[in-house]
Amino acid sequence: MSVLGLGLAMSLYAGSDGESKIRSSNTTELRKRIAGGIEANFKEFPFAVSIFENSLQICGGTLLSNKVVLTAAHCLKVLKNNKYVKTDAKLFNVRFGSANSADNINEIGVKSTHVHEKFDRMPNHNDIGIMFLEKGITEDQEKEYGIEYGKIFNRLVHEDMKTVAIGWGRQFQDGNRSNKLRVADILLSDYGLCESADYKYDGNNEM
């Protein structure tokens, strides 16, 4: 089983609240979303950012550079008249340098967004998006907050590979969101198990 590094980085670290076809590390049960986990040490994930739209936290993301954020495409679009259209980039803000998403000391606006040209919300094909920040994170900020940038995993992945998911998602299935960054250990599942779920699955295009 192979996954594009870009897709892997997004699905494991973006922290969005979309449906996830993931098994937990201590069960064979297929879960519909990543939930639970424990509070994360930000020093272990210094590339993590929280994304806000009109002051409402909607997703998480990964810093790829001082001006580029990787996130899910569905975080950047909204349904209008039965069609998904891009949200105005000016409505977004990105917070960095803290595990607490309520901390708005370090907040940067978004200059533009780009969504994978073959993104399909149902059933989440090519769910990859990029945000370009209005200004770059400075070297002084990198040093003060220990900022590091995410790296793309470009090797093959396989069933039962141990990974982690991070984000400000729900603390339990259909529960409340957390303001604190959380981390959960997960195992990757094979196609057969994913296809057995109660929704359509079409291989590794569903990132």
CATH number at residue 125: 2.40.10.10
Q: For residue 175, is it within any domain?
A: yes
Q: What angle do CA 113, 75, 121 make, to 5 degrees?
A: 105
pTM: 0.78
- Look at the block and give the residue holding tokens 């957390």: 178
| 207: in domain | no
What's residue 3's pLDDT? 35
Distance CA 198, CA 147 (A): 40
- Nearest CA to 188 among 16, 31, 15? 31
Kindly state the helix (H) or strand (E) to which residue 166 belongs, with its residue range.
strand 162-167
| Segment of 116-130, 135-149, 168-182 carrying the highest mean pLDDT | 135-149
Of 13-17, 64-68, 161-165, 172-176, the one with minimum mean pLDDT is 13-17
Between residues 46 and 15, the one the model is more confident about? 46
- Residue 163 one-letter amino acid: T
Most confident stretch, 2-6, 8-12, 129-133: 129-133
Total domains in the fold of the chain: 1
Q: What is the band of 182 on the pLDDT scale with cuts at 50, 70, 90?
A: very high
Question: In this structure, is residue 42 part of a structural domain?
Answer: yes
Phi–psi pair at 141, nearest 5 degrees: -70, -40
Q: Confirm whether 179 is domain-assigned.
A: yes
> Is 43 within the bounds of a domain?
yes
Measured in whole angstroms, the distance separating CA 119 from the mean position of its chain's CA atoms is: 15
- Binned at pLDDT 50, 70 and 90, residue 36 comes out as low
Question: Is residue 206 in a domain?
Answer: no
User: Residues 50-97: pLDDT tens digits?
Assistant: 999 998 999 999 999 999 999 999 999 877 777 778 899 999 999 999
Instruction: Supply the pLDDT for residue 63.
Output: 98
Give the pLDDT score at 4: 34
Cβ atoms 184, 37 nearer than 8 A: yes
